[in-house]
Amino acid sequence: MIDSIRQKVEGIRDFLPPIPLVMNELVQLLNQDDVDFKALADVISKDPSMTMNVLRIANSAFYGLPNRVNSLDHAVAMLGIKELTSLCMSCGAASALAPSKKGQKTMDLRSFWRHSVATGVIARMFAVEFGLPTSNLYLGGLMHDVGMVVLDRFFHPLYTKIVEVTFKENMPVIDAETRVLGETHAKIGGWLMEKWKLPPLFCEIASFHHSIEESSGEHRMIVSVVSLANQVSRLTGFGFGGDETGMVISESSAFQFIAKAHPNLENMDVAKFVMDLDRADGEISELERMMTNE
Amino acid sequence: MSKPLTNQEFSALRDYIYKKAGIFFTEKNRFILEMRIEEILNETGYKSVTEYMRALEDYKTSFTEWNRLMNKVTITETSFFRDKYQITAIEKNVLPEIIKRREQNGSRQLRIWSAASSSGEEAYTMAILLAEQLKEAVGRWNIAIYATDINENALAAVRAGVYSSYSLRNTAEDIKRKYFNKLPDDRYEIKDHLKKMVLSEKCNLMDYNASRRYSKIDLILIRNVLIYFDQVSKAKVLQMCYENLNEKAFLFLGHSETIFGIANNFKLVSFVNAFAYMK
């Protein structure tokens, strides 16, 4: 049984969903060091809803910009071209991963995106708090668990079983996946990011957000921030998949890695910081509604 | 409307209570003290706060009056299954963990301390959770749930084990049926086999020697109590709790209380919307 699952999982590589055209063009831009605004505007113009969504997010509490952003030109001036490209990607993420067949049985996609949005928002808040660069963090948080969508798409009954085991035995989801499937959403998410040719940062976030020590030195800080945000979003009620285990945050490898570079983290009141994340609830709900087009 | 205390009366009484019980009435909570002291003066016939304070100091009356004062000023409202996130963390993580640990070292003994138990809802909630978790094996375990408080009226309520339906507002129907006898007056009495798990005793948390009797504990609950203590008393109580806990055993405070900068020897454990402190 496990062998045939293994083959099937390996086979996922070949059947991973193709990246939608507009997203593909955005990825190409994301991979460039110097993005030309006209090129970005051209891409976005192919998807009318994208401009609207990007402007809505740019004007949301998430960025907290002092003035209202009314046009893409203005958004570029305020956010920078890289962040804007990343934001465009995030607007397309949910539809790119939406089930192709109508009525297909899926996991609770709403809570899934809620968790993903929360992870992105919290990752950015961490970065602001620790004085780290914030660009790409929202998209990184949003996409860190894409492997779960893929797993669910190909193995819905098994995935339901994984969620059940996670909840009933109260174990980390990654352990339940290893037990039931022999493979994890992290690995599969990494495959998808590679197939879609996203920049290495995003492949690493998807692959290593449960094992930051496997990430490259270049991206380990960002991977750690998303890893931490992933756990914290679960622990502040934005969890997904039934994992209710506890953890000593300050002993997690992600926290310790960040603390090495930012010793003031050691003196942080973690409980207060986590409790204060309540202030992000409004932003998370707002972004979630945009994400799921409500 | 209670008669306001003069500043001098208020600070004398506040300091006296603080010295003996570690409970500190801030300006914000001054009205509570004023309300309670007025009740006491009406009950006892003492004519003024000064006269009452003399009675507190007089060896002939001090025992009675100190208990009366504590019984008045430490009334707290609580309920079964209070704070669902903390209860879930205890149910899903903490109890399975401490049960597993005790099983591994073959002792089959559990010691839980509800350290400011008020009328006992918290202690009995723990008894219910253990009964649910251990099922028929519960009889093979040696379980001691200490419910201690400084307030004697509260302790009498623990021993009676009778609660209003309001106290059980967060309790599921099947749990009510399983663990309570419904009385004709719409109140609920906790069943005898749970009463036997809970031991109620008087304890002033500021009395170090008395508190240290509750040692080798697997789980301490001291929720929404330290908010009435100042930093120094808080630190003392937390240190006492630390000493009373087994290695890697857990302490729960109220859901928004943090001990950062007061007791740094504990490890903060995060659960979903709840924190615990681990030795």
Question: Which token pair is B13?
Answer: 């009484």
Mean of pLDDT values over A224-250 = 93
Mean of pLDDT values over B149-177 = 94
> Does the distance separating the beta carbons of A269 and B260 come in below 8 Å?
yes
Sketch out chain B's domains with CATH numbers: 7-73 (no CATH), 84-278 (3.40.50.150)
Q: Which residue of B has its CA nearest to A277?
A: B273
The position carrying tokens 């050691």 is: A266
Distance from CA of A236 to the nearest CA of B (A): 5
> Does the distance separating the beta carbons of A239 and B272 come in below 8 Å?
yes
* For residue B1, pLDDT beyond 50: no
| Amino acid type, A201 | L
With residue A194 as reference, give the H or E element that holds it.
helix A185-195
CA pair distance A226, A237, nearest whole angstrom: 17
DSSP state of A214: G
Query: Do residues B107 and B73 make contact, with C-beta atoms less than 8 angstroms apart?
Result: no
CATH class of A101-294: mainly alpha
Write out pLDDT tens, residues B120-154. 999 999 999 999 999 999 999 999 999 999 999 99
Question: Which token pair is B230?
Answer: 């100042």
Write out pLDDT tens, residues B31-80. 888 988 998 999 899 999 999 999 998 988 888 899 889 888 877 778 99
Show residues of chain A in contact with B275, CB under 8 Å: 271, 274
Residue A274's φ and ψ, nearest 5 degrees, are: -65, -45
Q: What is the pLDDT of residue A61?
A: 83
Supply the pTM of this predicted model: 0.87
Q: What is the pLDDT of residue A282?
A: 85
Q: What is the pLDDT of residue B21?
A: 84
* For residue A103, pLDDT beyond 80: no
The position carrying tokens 């253990």 is: B130
Write out pLDDT tens, residues A156-198. 898 999 999 999 999 999 999 999 988 899 999 999 999 888 9
The position carrying tokens 């948080």 is: A141
Closest CA to A60 of A91, A25, A92, A93: A91
Q: What percent of chain A is predicted at pLDDT more than 90?
A: 39
Q: What is the pLDDT of residue A41?
A: 87
Q: What is the rounded radius of gyration, in angstroms, for the C-alpha atoms of chain A?
A: 18
Mean pLDDT of chain B: 92
B105 touches chain A (CB under 8 A): no
> Does the distance separating the beta carbons of B89 and A246 come in below 8 Å?
yes
3-state secondary structure of B70: helix
Start-to-end CA distance of chain A, whole Å, equals 41
**Which of A246, A270, A272 minimises the CB distance to B271?**
A246
| Amino acid type, A62 | F
Question: Which token pair is B18?
Answer: 């603080």
Show residues of chain B in contact with A229, CB under 8 Å: none
Burial state string for A190-228 with b = 16 or more CB within 10 A and e = fewer than 16: bbbbbbbebeebbbbbbbbbbbbeebeeebbbbbbbbbb
Mean of pLDDT values over B243-252 = 97
Task: List Cα–Cα distances, B178 to A87, B71, B174, in angstroms.
Answer: 54, 32, 6
Please name every residue paired with B113 in a beta bridge, in sequence order, or none if there are none: B146, B220
- The ipTM is 0.88
**B152-156 long-range contacts, CB within 8 A, separation 24+:** B152/B67, B152/B70, B152/B71, B152/B202, B153/B71, B153/B75, B154/B71, B154/B74, B154/B75, B154/B117, B154/B118, B154/B119, B154/B120, B155/B117, B155/B200, B155/B201, B155/B202
CA pair distance A245, B53, nearest whole angstrom: 51
Q: What is the pLDDT of residue A293?
A: 67
Write out pLDDT tens, residues B13-24. 999 998 888 888
* C-alpha B120: how far from chain center: 8
Show residues of chain B in contact with A234, CB under 8 Å: 272
B234: confidence class by pLDDT, cuts 50, 70, 90: very high
Q: What is the pLDDT of residue A1?
A: 56
Query: What is the torsional sign of CA B125, B127, B130, B132?
Result: negative
DSSP states of A27-48 = HHHHT-SS--HHHHHHHHHTSH
**Which of B96, B270, B278 minimises the CB distance to A235?**
B270
> Does the distance separating the beta carbons of A275 and B88 come in below 8 Å?
no
Domain-by-domain residue ranges, chain A?
A: 16-96, 101-294
CA angle (B229, B233, B238) in 5-degree steps: 100
Query: Do residues A230 and A185 make contact, with C-beta atoms less than 8 angstroms apart?
Result: no
CA pair distance A289, B220, nearest whole angstrom: 41
Question: Which token pair is B97?
Answer: 């963990």
B248: number of Cβ within 10 Å: 13
* For residue B260, pLDDT beyond 70: yes
Going through B236-273 in order, the beta strands assigned E by DSSP cover 245-252, 267-271
Question: Which token pair is A118?
Answer: 């929360």
CA pair distance A191, A193, nearest whole angstrom: 6
